[in-house]
Structure 1
Amino acid sequence: MTIKNIIPKVNMKLKILLLLFFLYTIGFAQSFNVNKIEPPNWWEGMKTDQIQLMVYGENLGHVEVKSSGLKITQVHKVKNRSYLFVDIDLSGQKSGNYQLIFFDSDENVDITYPILKRERTINRQQGFSNEDVIYLIMPDRFANGDTANDEVEGYKDSMQDQFTQARHGGDIQGVIDHLDYLKDLGITTVWLTPLVENNTFRSYHGYSATDFYKIDPRLGNIDLYKTLVSKAHDKDLKIIMDHVSNHISIDHPWIKDLPTPDWINGTVKDHLSADHHKMVYTDPHADSTTIEHVYKGWFVDYMPDLNQANRYLGNYIIQNTIWWIETSGVDGIREDTYPYCNQEFMSRWAKAVMNEYSDFNIVGEVWTGEPAFLSGYQGGNKLRDFDTNLPAVTDFGMRDALGDFLKGNKNIDDFYNLLTKDYLYPDSDNLVTFIDNHDIGRAMFQADTNIAKFKIAFHMLLTTRGIPQILYGTEIGMIENDDHGTLRKNFPGGFPKDDRNAFTESGRTEYENDIFYFFQKILTLRQDHPALSKGKLIHFPVVDNVYIYFKIFDDELILNVINTNEYLVEIDMNKYSQIIKNRNSFTDLLSAKHFDLKDKIKIKGMKAEMFLIE
């Protein structure tokens, strides 16, 4: 049958209307496809029992959905007929495989949707606290445990000819292979930079997602990730997942076919650039357009900024986060670029996660060193009329103070002064403290290879307050500069062609072993003496470049003395009798030597010491 047969010879306007109607009906007659559903499964017995499925396919605009075993409460259709959103009520739902039936007037498509039983073991989703020490790993640069996945068909990176920007082959197996090394060092918690698929250029760092539900195959797969978490837990190690709500890669499939026009902020060709005025959220006088610019601006043109205010995307991000926690059993989350997201959404996100996992912990990356601004991001802050529900934040204030000390810009007075502002935080013990990370020049570079300064800075980091974090390689004194690709150097011995293995004592240089054993000693003391990690901090103003502080937990009392002079100093302990009380001896915890409290404590120049007062 042709158009001429069915359209009579009438005026031109009627012909056009009939033609449009014909084409419209032909369009509805097209078959539809369901290609993917996210999340791919859920679980029985979850507090999050109202879920929204994101359905990918073709010609879904006229499709309905039903199920004999699952309670479908609503089907949302959007203008883009490649997507469908299906609300399901799982309250009281038992585990099993259920059929979702997608249908129109001509055909049915049956999809099996699994509701799983939850894995319940005591060491899953444990959270992390100031009793822990976090070790930050960029997997691609740590260790290559499986050379077979170095190149994967369909995954190319145009930066491979630039060594500092290229993928080097490190992977999840490489981390598994060196868990004993981390345990021996004294680490308790491992933070891995993102592992999700980054099928794009400059993909080694993991922060440009192209699939939120898939491990990048050059790193491994979901089963291997679960194995990592399980093996870590068997060794009493915890795992922190790095999560990104703010942005995706320009090569994410969404960008070529946006589910809704407002799925991202702006468009690829027309969007706001990044605005780094993070203090606007706590500024009572801030202009609303300035605030909007901060969370709608794109970091860079190749990282589209997600619009978390879109209700479908918001649900997607919350469910994706919970899905990974439940699937893997990880113990915490580090949330990337926290202030650059819609803050109302992030509050809802954090609340949903913490509601599901009450022992969990989330640290938000907030790159500002001023406590007056930084503290406003921590949940429960009474100085704000808005609760972020975010348990922990990154303490860039301590990083700045210790970094300036290492560089010689300031002395330790600034460190003391920083801690005097802890009253601004709802919980200063739940701050992640650090000197270097994957975005900042390594500590030894900041110290210009001054080992004495380096050790003093890390002594204070590891014995004052908060949850200390160490960047991989810092424990052997890596020195690389602040260029991202350079400071993220391969760990020596982690890769097949390395000429030595710094994971072993014999493979490290004398310099590296000196730094390694310094860290190992203090980390061991943290585990043996809880006052160092979770004890109450009592400190005194810096006098003549000497900083003195005590850590107290139950009956344990530990004194720390930091001498940043180039000469020996003597400490008269009579000044601290109100703290020491009837104790009469002390033990140097670093040397194990015992002394009588009647003696003055002598501290060599540029040294940090700690003493158990008994």
Structure 2
Amino acid sequence: MKFKNVLTYLIIFTNIFYGQSPKINKVEPPNWWSGHLFNKIQLMIYGENLAHANLTSLSNKINVTSIPNKNDNYLFAEIEITNSAEPNYYNFLLTNKFGVDTIKYQLLERNETENIHQGFSTNDVIYLIFPDRFVNGDTSNDFIFNNSEEFKFNDLNGRHGGDIQGIINKLDYLKDLGISAIWITPLTENNMSMSYHGYSCTDLYKIDPRFGTNELYKKLVYEAHKRGIKIILDHVANHIGSNHEWIKNPPTPTWINGTVENHLPAEHDKVIYVDIHADKSKIANANKGWFIDTMPDLNQTDSLLAEYIIQNTIWWIEYSGLDGIREDTYPYSDQNFMSIWAETILQNYPKLNIVGEVWKGDPAVLAKFQTKNYFPKEFDSNLPVVTDFAIRDVLYNYMEGKTGLLKIYETFGQDFVYSNPDNLLTFFDNHDTDRGMYAAKWNMEKFKKALTIVLTTRGVPQIFYGTEIGLDGGGHHGKIREEFPGGFPNDSLNAFFEDGRNSNQNEIYNFTKKLLNLRKQNKALREGKFVQYCPKDDIYVYKKVLENVEIVIFLNDKTKDNFIDLGNYTNDDDLNNMDIKNLLDENLQKLVVKNNIILTGNSISIWEIKHIK
């Protein structure tokens, strides 16, 4: 009997012993790289019985410092990767007084290929793809077991099946169109309801299986680079999805601003972030507000979370070789953190570029977020590029018929507030706004003039997928993000090909392709100085000037023809000393009378003037 009691106690003690041993479920980042400039990284270990555990390295090439944390399910440790650490697997021991678990951590060799991390600039045209609605290249991933949202093709808010393979399949189409960069809305796991938009991430290191895999994303970047196309990551530092495992069990008490049951709402008026008269406590509250109730706000003032976000960004850049970042909801995040984040990214990848989404149509508000701006500031934003919603708004109103060309001229006239007007993302629609053709209501000339302004003024131009065929969704996000015809099984028409487009679609496609290729062929259109003239008689004239080349663009809103003296818009009165060519209409090359050209009613005319040296 006594023996049985001893045995029972021994079994109980053994169970307790093993029950309290540390257990590792996951490590983030999942790997790193030897020889990386960013060689001190913070490991985040998910598991059990970790509160009093300690991490040690079995290699003298990697130094470890554990970071105290009271949460039993997370352990943080800083590892320093010395210069002698070569690509290999490295072993770590995770121990507490009850037991041990092991980590086999991989350091990879860095990719030193020249055509990666290229950045983007005025030399590019960015094509925005909403992947769920672009092309379904792999129907086998339409239905994924144990996801919060099912495949719902006929639901405007549902998953429709577009994926990474679909984008890969259309890279040749985009290259032929004249596109040099692609911005893809978020592809990371969104295990949420109404998750098709991608902005409610539930795993920051994993591509959503309905889009593909991490390896397939890496292949997309590789295949794009082979065709001279850059890839821009849509990154979200401000929030995650409410189904993320952090929400039920935050790694630290300050990891999330508020809780599902008790949190502040977002402040969507961006003026508060730049207003010198604003109550600072209200600004602090604005930074803590949840964008919507299913998008918990991340607290970037938590130092462990801040490091996590920076590392996660670097990991995706290094892992995939991508070229740029579009940062979502830029003003909503802690701006001191965002400054450090941008600075760190650009220190490690000097050629990379970053554009921040600032949804406000006031140039002064936009300018405040751009690096090296002229306004009083406690620190520099380090953000190179800002979304130009000011031009977006006036172009949209122009296509609607609410304003004329003068308002566009006046908005460009406010560029003096920007530290660099060429570092603005110029566009008239995207995945959050009604499409340009929805505003134009198939007024082809208005639409084409707005597109001409996007592609031939200043800044980095961006067009939305389907703009080239006049997709006209509006009034509902699901309609704005409509499927590209021909991208999905059972589509009756395939607008990726000429015979699948109607006459209006082909007219827009041909015009878009013409402009894109003119831009590609003419350095002055990409890099030239932007000069504009006040519209008179509903005619807006501007030009791009580079060295001995002037490209003059005429936009005529009048219904009748006009004679225009080209000499009024060049730096040399004697046109005999110039080589003059009509770039848009090859059949109209001659001046009518000495310096005069005919500008037909309701038209666009683009002339190249080369000064003979």
Q: Counterparts of 1:556 and 1:121 in 2: how far apart (Å)?
A: 35
Q: Does 1:608 align with 2:604?
A: yes
Is 1:154 the equivalent of 2:146?
yes
CA contact (8 A) 2:399 2:446 kept: yes
> Equivalent residues in 2 for 1:552-567 (5 A)?
552-567=545-560
Q: Distance in 2 between matches of 1:576 and 1:255?
A: 61
Candidates 461, 472, 476, aligned match of 2:469 = 476
Match of 2:590 in 1: 595
**Which of 467, 480, 483 is the equivalent residue of 1:487?**
480
Kindly provide the CA deviation profile for residues 94-114 of structure 1, in whole angstroms up to 9, marking residues without a partner as x.
221100111123322111111
Checking the alignment, whether the CA contact within 8 Å between 1:150 and 1:169 is kept in structure 2 is yes
Matches within 5 A, 1:269-288: 269-288=261-280
Residue of structure 2 aligned with 1:576, choices 569, 573, 581: 569
* Aligned 8 A contact 1:76 1:86 in 2: yes
> Cα distance 1:477–1:607, how it changes in 2: closer, same or farther (>3 A)?
same
Which residue in 2 is equivalent to 1:49? 39
Residue 496 of structure 2 is matched in structure 1 by: 503
Aligned mate of 2:158, from 146, 166, 182: 166
Equivalent of residue 71 in structure 1, options 55, 58, 62: 62
1:98-177 pair list within 5 angstroms: 98-157=90-149, 160=152, 163-177=155-169
Within 2, Cα distance between the matches of 1:118 and 1:342? 31
Residue 586 of structure 1 corresponds to: 580
Distance in 1, matches of 2:62 and 2:515, equals 55
Q: Deviations over 1:135-159 (max 9, x none)?
A: 0001110001111111112224068
Alignment of 1:6-405 (within 5 A): 30-69=20-59, 70-92=61-83, 93-157=85-149, 160=152, 163-385=155-377, 386-405=379-398
> What is the CA distance between 1:608 and its match in structure 2?
1.5
Paired letter, 1:586: I
1:48 and 1:446 map into 2 onto residues whose CA distance is 47
Tell me the amino acid that sits aligned with residue 195 of structure 1: L
Secondary structure of the residue that 2:605 maps to in structure 1?
strand
1:161 Cα deviation after fit: 7.9
| SS of structure 1 residue aligned to 2:122 | coil
The answer to whether the Cα contact below 8 Å between 1:95 and 1:114 also exists between their aligned partners in 2 is yes
Q: Aligned to 1:381, what secondary structure does the other structure show? A: coil
C-alpha change, 1:604 and 1:265, in structure 2 (3 Å) is same
Worse-matched range after superposition: 164-173 or 286-295: 286-295
For residue 557 of structure 1, report the CA deviation from its aligned partner. Answer: 1.4
One-letter amino acid of the structure 2 residue matched with residue 594 of structure 1: Q
Q: Any conservation in 2 of the 1:247–1:305 contact (CA below 8 Å)?
A: yes
Contact 2:137/2:167 (<8 A) preserved = yes
Q: CA deviation at 1:293?
A: 2.3
- In the TM superposition, residue 599 of structure 1 has moved relative to its aligned partner by 4.1
Distance 2:131 2:398 in 1: 30
Contact 2:221 2:231 in 1 (8 A): yes
Q: Distance in 1 between the 2:213 and 2:33 partners? A: 21
What does the per-residue CA deviation read over 1:419-454, in whole Å, with 9 as the maximum and x for residues that have no partner?
111121111111111001000001000112211100
Whether the 8 Å contact between 2:525 and 2:551 is mirrored in structure 1 is yes
Q: Distance in 1 between matches of 2:284 and 2:278?
A: 10
Distance 2:166 2:249 in 1: 36
Whether the 8 Å contact between 1:456 and 1:606 is mirrored in structure 2 is no
Q: 1:579 to 1:342 in 2, by over 3 A?
A: farther
Inter-partner Cα distance in structure 1 for 2:569 and 2:160 = 54
**Secondary structure at the residue paired with 1:570?**
strand
Letter in 1 for 2:471: M
How many Å separate the matches in 2 of 1:287 and 1:394?
A: 26
**Is residue 28–residue 62 contact of structure 1 (8 Å, CA) maintained in 2?**
no
State the alpha-carbon separation in 2 of the partners of residues 142 and 314 from structure 1: 33
My pick for the range that moved more, 598-607 or 130-139, is 598-607
Q: Secondary structure at the match of 1:135?
A: strand
Q: Could you list the per-position Cα deviations for residues 118-147 of structure 1 after superposition, in whole angstroms to 9, with x for gaps in the alignment?
A: 011111000000110000001110001111
Residue 282 to residue 579, structure 1, CA distance change in 2 (3 Å): farther
How far does residue 418 in structure 1 lie from its aligned partner after superposition?
1.2
Amino acid at match of 1:560: I
Distance change >3 Å, CA 125–CA 503, structure 1 → 2: same
Distance 1:471 1:225 in 2: 21
- Deviation, 1:554, is 2.3
Question: Which residue is 1:13 aligned to?
Answer: none
Aligned partner of residue 590 in structure 2, secondary structure: strand
Contact preservation (8 Å) 1:73, 1:88: yes
Distance 1:480 1:298 in 2: 28
Q: Is the 8 A contact 2:18 2:99 kept in 1?
A: no
Q: Matches of 1:478 and 1:235 in 2, distance apart?
A: 26
Contact 1:277 1:294 in 2 (8 A): no
Runs of 4+ in 1 over 4 A off after TM superposition: 25-29, 579-582
Take 1:26 and 1:580, find their aligned partners in 2: how far apart are those partners? Answer: 93
Matched-pair identity in %: 47
Instruction: Structure 2: give runs of 5+ residues left out of the alignment.
Output: 7-11
In 2, Cα distance between the equivalents of 1:581 and 1:282?
49
- Retained in 2: the 8 A contact 1:33–1:57? yes
Letter in 1 for 2:439: Q
Q: SS of the residue aligned with 1:559?
A: strand
Separation in 1 of the partners of 2:162 and 2:137? 7
Q: Distance in 2 between the 1:265 and 1:104 partners?
A: 31
Could you say what the CA RMSD is over the residues aligned between the two structures, in angstroms?
A: 2.0
User: Matches of 2:579 and 2:119 in 1, distance apart?
Assistant: 37
Instruction: Say which SS state the counterpart of residue 163 (structure 1) adopts.
Output: coil
The one-letter amino acid of 1:595's match is K
1:518 aligns with 2:511: yes
Report SS of the residue matched to 1:99: strand
Q: Is the 8 A contact 2:136 2:163 kept in 1?
A: yes
Q: Is the 8 A contact 1:99 1:111 kept in 2?
A: yes
Shift in Å, 1:79: 2.0
Q: CA deviation at 1:586?
A: 2.1
SS in 1 for 2:246: helix
Residue identity matched to 2:490: K
CA distance in 1, matches of 2:273, 2:134: 37
